[in-house]
Copies of this chain bind each other. A is one copy, B any other.
Amino acid sequence: MLVSHRTWPELQDVTGSVAVVPIGSTEQHGPHLPEGTDYLIAEALAREASDRTGHLCTPTLPIGVSSHHRHFPGTMWVEPPVFRDFVESFTRNLTAHGIDRVVYVNAHGGNVVHLREVGRRLQQDGTAFAIEWMWNESIPDLIDDAFDVLGPHGGPKETAMVMHIAPDLVREDRLEDARDGGATFEHDAERVHGATTFYDTIEHSPNGVFGDQTDATPEIGQQLFEAATDQLEALLEWLDERPLEELLTDSDLEPEPGP
């Protein structure tokens, strides 16, 4: 139930207290994927799960924390404190209409820690129980099985997803370029004596992406999309079933020092 497409009287009788908030980013995704990849994926998943469950889906926030891609044309972003404040203010005001549990359907890794920070603040002051959900975290095995060379950004899993949800936006003829002009990346291997010494994508990939994109197909994309939506649907049900007090950390939990 996409709020944007409904009138207010139609929303008046919605009794549930769960909302789905799609959040992505607009940033370079290599020579083969559109800049909107992350928000398009978040939107598609959130709307599908909302349609299935009847929970409210808000409009999509298409801009996130992406300054690490700043060297590439078309990348847009807001500063982290601004992003957090926006999501926090938006979520607090959602509670004016009885929403008290929120899933941020997020498709951009750079947003994760900020959404967690906002969610924690809302949980600590008892305003709402808001959590971040990222589709690939919900189906790790499926993704691992599907591709040989993954990449944290613009790789085969995102490519397959866009092939499924917006096939016209994939530049099929640039998949090999994407792979050959990009890089593979293993975060732990890139540390210098234990420290993460880089801040920008361009330090590791000249074309901005990672992995082997030629492994992606629309069929795999569809599989991933369905599986992830199933997970999201299950999560929404899980949330809906629980009393808010339990979600906001049971008040009856007490530290136990042991014997």
Interface residues of A (CB under 8 A from B): 2-9, 11-12, 14, 26, 28-36, 39-40, 58-63, 67-68, 70-82, 85-86, 89-90, 93-94, 96-97, 103, 113, 116-117, 119-120, 123-124, 131-135, 137-140, 169, 171, 174, 177-178, 180-181, 188, 191-197, 199-200, 202-203, 206-208, 228, 231-232, 234-235, 238, 247, 249, 253-259
Contact = CB atoms under 8 A, between A and B. Distances in A.
A80 B54 CA distance: 31
A5 B206 contact: no
Contact of A194 (B36, B124, B133, B181): B133
B74 A8 contact: yes
A60 B58 contact: no
A7 B36 contact: no
A224 to B, nearest CB: 12
A242 B248 CA distance: 35
A135 B194 contact: yes
16 contacts: A4-B26, A6-B74, A7-B33, A8-B35, A8-B74, A61-B63, A77-B90, A78-B86, A78-B90, A132-B196, A133-B194, A177-B257, A180-B259, A181-B259, A194-B231, A197-B238
B5 A169 contact: yes
A6 B34 contact: yes
A59 B30 contact: no
Stoichiometry, copies per complex: 6
Contacts of A73: 8-9, 11-12, 14, 97, 255
B199 A119 contact: yes
Instruction: Name the prevailing secondary structure of the A interface residues.
Output: mixed
A123 B139 CA distance: 35
B59 A193 contact: no
Nearest to A69: B8
Given A7-B29, A35-B8, A63 B90 contact: yes
B90 A255 contact: no
B80 A177 contact: no
Contacts of A31: 7-9, 257-258
A12 to B, nearest CB: 5
A63 B59 contact: yes
Contacts of A199: 119-120, 123-124, 249
Nearest to A29: B7
Contacts of A208: 8, 255
B120 A256 contact: no
